[in-house]
A and B are shown apart, each in its own frame.
Chain A
Amino acid sequence: MPKKYTIHTKPAPPKFYPVGKYATIEFRENCAGSCKECVKKKCVYDIFKNNYLHMSNMEEPEYLYTCNSCFRCIQECTKGIFSRVINPEYREIGDEYYTPDVINRTWYQAHTGSIPVSGAGYRGPFAGKGFDSMWTDMSEIVRPTRDGIHGREYINTCIELSRRPERLAFHEDGSLAVTVKPILEIPLPILFQKPKFGVLSKKVLVSMLKAAQTIGTKMFMDAADIDETLEPFGTVIIPVVKKENFHEFTDLLKRSDMVEIDYEPGIETVLDALKTVNENLVISVGLPLSANLDYAGIGVDLSKTAMDTLHVYADYNGREFNSQNPRFIKDMLRDIHVALVKAGTRRQINILASGGVSMAEHVNKTIICGADGVVIDRPLLLAMECRLCNRCRNGLSCPVNLETIDPEYGSNRIINLMGAWRNQMLEMLGAMGMREARRLRGEVGRSMWFEDLEKESFAPIFGERKVSLDVG
């Protein structure tokens, strides 16, 4: 990796109006007409400036989307003709996990490359499900923090994907007595994968690959989807194969430096066969976090084979598959990590996790729970203005014409998002006093968990907790 890795961002304004939270409404029939105090002229954000143009062009007025909710037009209009509602479209986008707020912040980061900043404190619930039931620690006075974000101290976010030897051995003359395979590392603990659904035109995929190439990460794609037009991306692509079809992609595997094979019982035998195709091939096994699999046990077994990286995946919202009462990825990861630590193999292999990573904070939290890095897909679509409206799933047209996106523009937006995410990672790592993303792996000591804090601070006062918070 380069000496000092940075992600260079440049603004990429949206092509379509982002769906804003507030819609300003005016009861125009009550307007005084030629009022000298017109609040529209005084708007600090100038959102009414081109109002008349929208009317003549019969376009949607921009102020439906750009209101900054200062309430001044509502409170200062001499006739009181303004009011405000929550934009009905805003309520409709996303789902319970990818909330409209998450989507809007993702758009903002993809547009500007900056991290979301706001005043007046935190606005959300006290604690919540999943990742919202943990906080990260910070250093105070006696343990130095790291000033990473402003570049005065370098914080390394690099991770490895290849297997590490258990120990080195040397001959008497000091030369190495073991073969050390080439080390495969990426400068960012975030990899991409092709989303399971969405508008997945060639242009969309190329945008993702271009971004991955620029920032030095990799992208998982079904081997069957890789054609000659994607050849320029070479080892950026990690082909995903199955036990029964990997023979068909021998040429591709020879050109690749990493491959993923879907887990199925008895897969261990195939891993050696993959190494015979290309001995330097880094092998990842894709393991679904399904309630009917003993994923921790399987992880331990696989760690003793030729596997380099275990890629565990939950559903989009980080939940276990095939369960009435699904666990959340943070708890499943803890189990796998701890099982591997106990088995003494955790240091040799890497764990990648996907599912439930929708914001920058989830990257660090996933790593704290025991992963080395994360794999994302939905945020990539969001960066390209996807609204998660699910119209494409029903065969309807895409409101932001994703299929025809210019890959230059699309990759710019993804790079911006990754730049903003990395900066936020650095903020958290710096606050924890860490200079290495790798040191964060499984480092629960640098985090605080809802259950523990309640027990430590509140149990001595209030006794036993009677309502269990659903933190899973």
Chain B
Amino acid sequence: MNQKINALPETKPAPSRFRNTIGKYIIKRNSSCIACGKCAELCPYGVHIKPENHIAPFRPVEHNCIGFDCKDTDHYCIEHCPEDAMTLKANPLLETMGDYRWTPEMLLGHFAMAETGCAPHVDLEYNLGNSGGGFDKMRFKKPDSTLAVNLSDEEMDTSIELNKTGDGRPLKTISIPCYGGGMSYGSTALSVIVGRARAAKRLNSLTCTGEGGYPPEFLPYKDHVITQVATGLFGVREETIQNCPVMEFKYAQGAKPGLGGHLLGEKVTEAVAKMRETVVGRPLFSPFPFHSVYSVEDHKKHVDWMKEINHQVLCSVKVSTPTDVDMVAVGAYYAGAHIIHIDGSYGGTGAAPDIAKKNIAMPIEYAIPKVHRFLVEEGARDKITLIASGGIRNAMDVAKAIALGADGCVIGTADLVAVECVRCGNCESGRGCARGIATTDPELGYMIDEAYVEQRLVNMYMAWRKQWCSLLRSFGLKSIKDLRGRSDLLIHLDYLDEEERKQYQPAPGYKMVL
């Protein structure tokens, strides 16, 4: 068991699907170039490539260029070009990318991590957004250097336990403190969700079906696929509960708290309709809430029902973040859940009303400490796994969420960014995602394949793991489990005096055009 948990999957380059990548800088070679190959000789980052049998160098690989930082090195191509054929400038395209939560640099940073499996070598701020609050204002304290431990990444433990109840059901450990959020068959391309399952298997983690049924393509990875039971009960069958190691009751989701799901008619293709046992082209509404659950007792009945169908299954309860989220969490615990999964309001991958995403329910940063504290006071904290999601964008957000009191996180949007989602937000319109991710359109579906998704996700999570290991080492911790609830290691910039605040990286706070 331990061997499996510690075996880390191999990272290998998984280049962009697109011919022209987007970089922080633009570097151009003009017609004065005499193809001497000096730039290719100099550049250690592979921006300039000139294979031996080629007359001229290839077009510069701009996203690898470190830009003006290169000036101080001895390999600055601009200066060394004998013909002055090179120009370098910041890419103005970045202004048109991203938003307050996912800044352009965070997007590019994740593209790079998914491509290489390492932190980007370009100076990109990929750990902090520009939202001006929550995780973006939190920092880990400066660690005491005497605490640091000298262990390799392989020796560090980033695994978390999913069954802490001691109820005789299987113990389930995942190797990284994250698993994949529900994305349904129908809302997302099949190759994407199967690619996620393949990555989950390699990472020894999990992914989730979402509310769209259980396509047979998941079966080879069934030990790593959570079956979601949501209010519409689409595609929920006895065998899909029997297949899964963990089943998830979705009471609510952060993107549309208190509202039902809605799959547009255009996305209900023949295959989707068959899977969901509905009619082609008809929009599908999931009601809200479960009309069979109006009390914790009703909820317990649901949990018991699932446990009876599969005697090995662990139960996760996914709820949103209302004022009384702490009470809901305790209720879930007493009903026999193994995992309470709280989904904050700022996240979500699928299409949702803008009014709901912005306004309904509280951001996850507030909900985690609230629930953690309440579970501690109730004496239940060590008997249930607390999973947070909804606005967890990067490795440091995961670490901050764990320090605030969660055991681990569920990731959705970052998975999609890893496969080159640019967050244009048009997931729901017409034929769906133009980049082939959130679509069931047969023509757009060709754009993406399972192996690509699998490797990009493995790369991104392994890059994240490196960040977690480095953070843990600096605080003298050997396991990410020891970070849970260590909110004493965090500071919030707005709660510091001006002098103290200067010691930390300031929060980005630039105006964006929305």
A contact residues vs B (CB 8 Å cutoff): 21-22, 44-45, 68-72, 74-78, 80, 83-86, 90-91, 99-101, 105, 115-127, 135-142, 144-145, 147, 149-150, 152, 359-361, 365, 424, 427-428, 430-433, 448, 453-454, 456-458, 460-467, 469
Establish whether residues B93 and A74, one from each chain, have CB atoms under 8 Å apart when the complex forms: yes
> 10 extra interchain contacts, Cβ-Cβ under 8 A, other than A138-B361, A461-B492?
A45-B434, A70-B435, A119-B350, A135-B361, A138-B360, A140-B324, A142-B328, A428-B359, A430-B259, A466-B497
Establish whether residues B323 and A137, one from each chain, have CB atoms under 8 Å apart when the complex forms: yes
Given known contacts A86-B95, A115-B355, A75 and B100 CB-to-CB distance under 8 angstroms: no
- Interchain CA distance A100-B131 in the complex, whole Å: 19
Establish whether residues B427 and A145, one from each chain, have CB atoms under 8 Å apart when the complex forms: no
Given known contacts A137-B361, A147-B260, A424-B353, A458 and B369 CB-to-CB distance under 8 angstroms: yes
Establish whether residues B355 and A80, one from each chain, have CB atoms under 8 Å apart when the complex forms: no
Establish whether residues B426 and A121, one from each chain, have CB atoms under 8 Å apart when the complex forms: no
Establish whether residues A424 and B288, one from each chain, have CB atoms under 8 Å apart when the complex forms: no
Within 8 Å of chain A (Cβ to Cβ): is B146? no
Q: How far does the Cβ of B440 sit from chain A's closest Cβ, in whole Å?
A: 14
Within 8 Å of chain A (Cβ to Cβ): is B29? no
Establish whether residues B514 and A135, one from each chain, have CB atoms under 8 Å apart when the complex forms: no
Given known contacts A117-B352, A144-B289, A427 and B100 CB-to-CB distance under 8 angstroms: no
29 pairs of residues in contact across A and B, judged by CB atoms under 8 Å? A44-B434, A74-B22, A80-B20, A83-B93, A90-B513, A120-B348, A122-B101, A125-B132, A126-B137, A127-B133, A137-B323, A137-B361, A138-B252, A140-B251, A140-B324, A141-B293, A359-B355, A427-B353, A428-B355, A430-B259, A448-B362, A453-B362, A456-B370, A458-B369, A460-B369, A461-B369, A462-B490, A466-B498, A467-B493
Establish whether residues B287 and A76, one from each chain, have CB atoms under 8 Å apart when the complex forms: no
B358's contact among A122, A152, A456, A466, by CB below 8 Å, is which? Answer: A122
B424's contact among A71, A75, A78, by CB below 8 Å, is which? Answer: A71
Establish whether residues B93 and A152, one from each chain, have CB atoms under 8 Å apart when the complex forms: no
B contact residues vs A (CB 8 Å cutoff): 16, 18-22, 59, 92-93, 95-97, 99-102, 130-134, 136-137, 251-252, 255, 257-260, 285, 287-289, 293-296, 299, 319-320, 322-325, 328, 331, 345-363, 365-367, 369-370, 373, 390-391, 404, 413, 416, 421-431, 433-435, 438, 444, 487, 490-498, 513-514
Q: How far does the Cβ of A16 sit from chain B's closest Cβ, in whole Å?
A: 21
Given known contacts A119-B352, A424-B355, A461-B490, A141 and B320 CB-to-CB distance under 8 angstroms: no
Establish whether residues A123 and B20, one from each chain, have CB atoms under 8 Å apart when the complex forms: no
Q: Which A residues lie within 8 Å of B323 (CB)?
A: 137, 448
10 closest Cβ pairs, A-B complex:
A431-B258, A126-B133, A119-B427, A138-B258, A70-B434, A123-B99, A462-B495, A118-B425, A75-B18, A44-B434
Q: Which A residues lie within 8 Å of B100 (CB)?
A: 123-126
Which of A78, A119, A431, A465: most chain B Cβ within 10 A?
A: A119
Establish whether residues B494 and A453, one from each chain, have CB atoms under 8 Å apart when the complex forms: no
Establish whether residues B331 and A142, one from each chain, have CB atoms under 8 Å apart when the complex forms: yes
Establish whether residues B391 and A144, one from each chain, have CB atoms under 8 Å apart when the complex forms: no
- Interchain CA distance A424-B331 in the complex, whole Å: 30
Q: How far does the Cβ of A29 sit from chain B's closest Cβ, in whole Å?
A: 13
Q: How far does the Cβ of A14 sit from chain B's closest Cβ, in whole Å?
A: 17
Given known contacts A118-B425, A137-B322, A140-B251, A431 and B96 CB-to-CB distance under 8 angstroms: no
- Interchain CA distance A117-B357 in the complex, whole Å: 10
Establish whether residues B355 and A124, one from each chain, have CB atoms under 8 Å apart when the complex forms: no
Interface of B is mostly: loop
Q: How far does the Cβ of A392 sit from chain B's closest Cβ, in whole Å?
A: 25
Establish whether residues A466 and B22, one from each chain, have CB atoms under 8 Å apart when the complex forms: no
Establish whether residues B360 and A458, one from each chain, have CB atoms under 8 Å apart when the complex forms: no
- Interchain CA distance A115-B262 in the complex, whole Å: 13
Given known contacts A74-B20, A144-B294, A120 and B416 CB-to-CB distance under 8 angstroms: yes
- Interchain CA distance A246-B319 in the complex, whole Å: 57
Establish whether residues A456 and B366, one from each chain, have CB atoms under 8 Å apart when the complex forms: yes
B359's contact among A69, A120, A136, A467, by CB below 8 Å, is which? Answer: A136
Establish whether residues A126 and B136, one from each chain, have CB atoms under 8 Å apart when the complex forms: yes
Establish whether residues A126 and B362, one from each chain, have CB atoms under 8 Å apart when the complex forms: no
Q: Which B residues lie within 8 Å of A464 (CB)?
A: 495
Establish whether residues B93 and A117, one from each chain, have CB atoms under 8 Å apart when the complex forms: no
Chain B residue at minimal CB-CB distance from A71: B422
Q: Which A residues lie within 8 Å of B429 (CB)?
A: 68
B438's contact among A45, A83, A119, A123, by CB below 8 Å, is which? Answer: A119
Q: How far does the Cβ of A267 sit from chain B's closest Cβ, in whole Å?
A: 37
Q: Which A residues lie within 8 Å of B92 (CB)?
A: 83, 85
Establish whether residues A465 and B494, one from each chain, have CB atoms under 8 Å apart when the complex forms: yes
Q: Which B residues lie within 8 Å of A100 (CB)?
A: 513-514
- Interchain CA distance A458-B400 in the complex, whole Å: 13
Q: Which A residues lie within 8 Å of B132 (CB)?
A: 125-127
Establish whether residues A139 and B289, one from each chain, have CB atoms under 8 Å apart when the complex forms: yes
Which of A83, A135, A152: most chain B Cβ within 10 A?
A: A135
Chain B residue at minimal CB-CB distance from A365: B359
Q: Which B residues lie within 8 Å of A465 (CB)?
A: 494-495
- Interchain CA distance A324-B379 in the complex, whole Å: 52
Establish whether residues A147 and B354, one from each chain, have CB atoms under 8 Å apart when the complex forms: no
Establish whether residues A124 and B331, one from each chain, have CB atoms under 8 Å apart when the complex forms: no
- Interchain CA distance A137-B360 in the complex, whole Å: 6
Chain A residue at minimal CB-CB distance from B290: A141
Establish whether residues B422 and A44, one from each chain, have CB atoms under 8 Å apart when the complex forms: no
Establish whether residues A147 and B288, one from each chain, have CB atoms under 8 Å apart when the complex forms: yes
Establish whether residues A145 and B359, one from each chain, have CB atoms under 8 Å apart when the complex forms: no
Establish whether residues B325 and A75, one from each chain, have CB atoms under 8 Å apart when the complex forms: no
Establish whether residues B366 and A457, one from each chain, have CB atoms under 8 Å apart when the complex forms: yes
Q: How far does the Cβ of A275 sit from chain B's closest Cβ, in whole Å?
A: 41
Q: Which B residues lie within 8 Å of A126 (CB)?
A: 100, 131-134, 136-137, 346, 363
A361's contact among B16, B359, B497, by CB below 8 Å, is which? Answer: B359
- Interchain CA distance A22-B422 in the complex, whole Å: 14
Q: Which A residues lie within 8 Å of B288 (CB)?
A: 145, 147, 430-431
Establish whether residues A152 and B287, one from each chain, have CB atoms under 8 Å apart when the complex forms: yes
- Interchain CA distance A453-B370 in the complex, whole Å: 10
Q: How far does the Cβ of B269 sit from chain A's closest Cβ, in whole Å?
A: 17
- Interchain CA distance A129-B493 in the complex, whole Å: 19
- Interchain CA distance A238-B248 in the complex, whole Å: 54
- Interchain CA distance A142-B361 in the complex, whole Å: 16
- Interchain CA distance A281-B353 in the complex, whole Å: 40
A141's contact among B22, B251, B367, by CB below 8 Å, is which? Answer: B251
Given known contacts A78-B19, A138-B361, A119 and B425 CB-to-CB distance under 8 angstroms: yes
